[in-house]
Amino acid sequence: MRKHRPAGKVLLYHAVSDDRDFPSSSGTNLTPAQFERQVLFLKQNYSVVRLGSGENSSGKPPLAVTFDDGYRDSFENAYPILKRYNLPATFFLTVSRVGEDWDFPRGDYPGLTWDQVREMERDPLVDFGSHGLTHADLTAKTEGEAAREIEISKTILEEKLTRPIYYFSYPHGSYNGQLKALARRAGYRAAYSVISGGEDDFSRRRTLISRKDNFFRFRLKLSPLYWPLRRII
């Protein structure tokens, strides 16, 4: 069994899509050109490792790349760029949205299909994790409802795919002690958020990257100084 060894920094992406194509106003997308520039920088300056491996013999700082939600642009835009530069990534899927459109206020946006997910899974660069069943804020659910989101999403993914699901990403980044315990009980090795934490394997912090980050700010977010200074920059 592969032991969970946290990478030095974990990045969180959502959509790799031009603004005109992405109907959400959240600002969580970035263009394919922006993403490729960032990936090239990571390739040159970091040892990009699989989530939870933390193994690094290159002498470069270790770093992991993750995606939340499971938009179709992960297959069409992000995955080809990662493959071009031979960088691994973990994609956290909202299970009920696979094969369905995401309903945003400004229009629908396609999710990944199961065929696309299976094609990506055949590549050893790609891992998948659970982002719950419905993308609900689990801190607002009863214990039973939250347990269902955490456990059944893992079961479905393991039935549909060929590898175990080791990692969970809290929808909306929201978690508490009860959710941490539920994720542990469900058999995950670790769970990830974007909220300041990182004290244990079930409150691992990630750094959000979005279209609001020009290249200077992207590089700043990779610095150890970013989290202490984030409220003033």
User: Superfamily assignment of 10-232 in CATH?
Assistant: Glycoside hydrolase/deacetylase (3.20.20.370)
Looking at residue 206, the DSSP 8-state letter turns out to be: -
Supply 123's token pair. Answer: 């590549």
Domain extents for the chain? 10-232
Angle (deg, nearest 10), helices 177-185 and 143-160: 40
Q: How far apart are CA 130 and CA 160, in angstroms?
A: 12
Measured at the alpha carbon of residue 198, what is the angle toward residues 197 and 200, in degrees to the nearest 5? 120
Largest CA distance in the chain: 46
The whole model's pTM is what?
Answer: 0.93
DSSP code per residue over 146-168: HHHHHHHHHHHHHHHSSS---EE
Supply 28's token pair. Answer: 């969580």
pLDDT, tens digit (0-9, with 9 covering 90-100), for 118-142: 999 999 999 999 999 999 999 999 9
pLDDT, tens digit (0-9, with 9 covering 90-100), for 32-73: 999 999 999 999 999 999 998 766 667 899 999 999 999 999
